Amino acid sequence: MGRINTVFKADGVETASRYSVSEWWLEPKTQGPGAHSHDEDDLFYVIEGTMSVLIGNEWVHATKGSFILIPGGTTHDFENRGSVRAGVLNFSASGAFEPAMPAIVEWFKKNPPEDT
């Protein structure tokens, strides 16, 4: 996806669709997917850099080692506003997230991330 790279570490097949685990890396000054919501709970753990995360109407600047819970149905987004690459582990429960990835990749091809 260019300025955003994603790798699924555990998906629905491996977890009986109870959860999925993915690793997301955003290059410096890269917008994320845009504000959205879904039924699954999202847990983010920042593994490098600082990730700016929208939770409802509030932006949180999460540094390395931060843990963020976003309950299902909550509007959220994430982006890297910093000058160094930022990465997060994402835990999504239930594990129904990864089947949507082909459509998400196609959307990003048509709407590439812009600078923050």
pLDDT tens digits for 38-65?
888 999 999 999 999 999 999 999 999 9
Give per-residue pLDDT as tens, 55-91: 999 999 999 999 999 999 999 999 999 999 999 999 9
Give Cα separations from 70 to 38, 84, 93 (angstroms).
10, 24, 11
Read off the pTM. 0.79
What was the pLDDT predicted at 98? 59
The CATH class for the domain spanning 4-110 reads: mainly beta
> Domain extents for the chain?
4-110
Name which of 92, 97, 79 is nearest 26 in CA terms: 79
What are the residues whose beta carbons fall under 8 Å from the beta carbon of 8, sequence distance 6 or more? 20, 21, 22, 98, 101
Looking at residue 62, its amino acid is: A
SS3 65: coil
